[in-house]
Structure formats: structure tokens, C-alpha cells
Amino acid sequence: MSSNRRRIPLVLAAACSVAGALALAPAAQAVTPLTATATYDCGSWGSGLATLTATDSGTSKSIKITSTAITMPAGTSADPNSITTTLKLTKTSGGVTSQVQFSGKTNPGLSGGNPITLGPLKLTSGTLAAGDSTNSVVLASPPSATNWSLQIVASSPTSATVPCVATANQSAPFVW
């Protein structure tokens, strides 16, 4: 019986350690809506609707972009994780407007005519707090090296820098 009494404090200590670790772990934050659509003009890569999917893990915020209207041109291709993508969004926080950027080099292998799948792109410039909202940076066409809301830089085997402009606000802003 004395050995059972010695185990009880060890079991209680282990249970308290687990509970403490769970209490200190960052909770997943909610972003709403989870998806929104936006229209982009990407010049030779096409124009049209893109779906933006947002996630907030509590420690990292990201957005994935998919589109069947925006495609790699015929005769071009991209190896997996060879496209650097940067997305600019307008941030509104407490009535103050600024910009944030999401960027990353995550993509499946793509070839001419394939719809784009880019990301997840992580928040790399600016900060987002609970309650902040983000929306497309709407710019006039045509897109250029200095006029873009979304920039796609393919590096292997096709090299191309593709600036895109958002032509309208998202279907709904993301609220982080």
C-alpha cells in the first residue's frame, strides 16, 4: 500500500504538467470568413476570379491562392516550390488603414494551362491583431513592375515575373 501512496503524487504531478502545457499552448485563432474571392488581372497569365483561403494558427497567419482563370501560359512550366508569390492586402485596424504582405515559395509543379495554386503564403510584412480586417489592394490596370497587388515570380524552369492587380475588393474582407 505504501508504494501506491508514492505513485499518487507522481500521477498528480504529471497531470498538472500536461494541464499547464495545454494552458500555455497558443490557441488557434478564428479568421472569418475562411475563404473569399477576388478578381485579378495578371496580364499574359489571365484575368478572373481567385479564391483566397485564410488560416490563423495563433502563431502564424497565412493565405492560399487558387484560380482556374489565372493559368501559366502554354509552353511554360514551374517546378514544385519554385514560384515566389507576394500578396499585398489593405489592413484596417481601429479606423487606421495600412498595408500588409503575405509571401512564400510554395506551389505544386505547374505547366502551361494549369490553374494556379500558390501558398500558403505567410504574413511577412506588417502585423495583424484580433479584430483587424484585410482586403484586396485594388489598383487600376494594367499591372506592371511598380503597379501590383499580387506578384508571381517563377524561377524554374521558366523564369517570369508576373505582376497582377486586384480589380475589385474581395467578396468579403478577412477579419482576423
Residue at 95 is within a domain: yes
Structural domain of 106? 35-175
Residue at 1 is within a domain: no
pLDDT of residue 12: 43
Residue at 106 is within a domain: yes
Residue at 70 is within a domain: yes
**SS3 of 45, please?**
helix
End-to-end CA distance of the chain: 55
Overall number of domains in the chain: 1
The cell numbers describing 169, all together, are 475588393
Residue at 14 is within a domain: no
Residue at 50 is within a domain: yes
pTM of the model: 0.83
Residue 46: is its pLDDT beyond 50? Answer: yes
pLDDT of residue 2: 53
Residue at 25 is within a domain: no
Residue at 125 is within a domain: yes
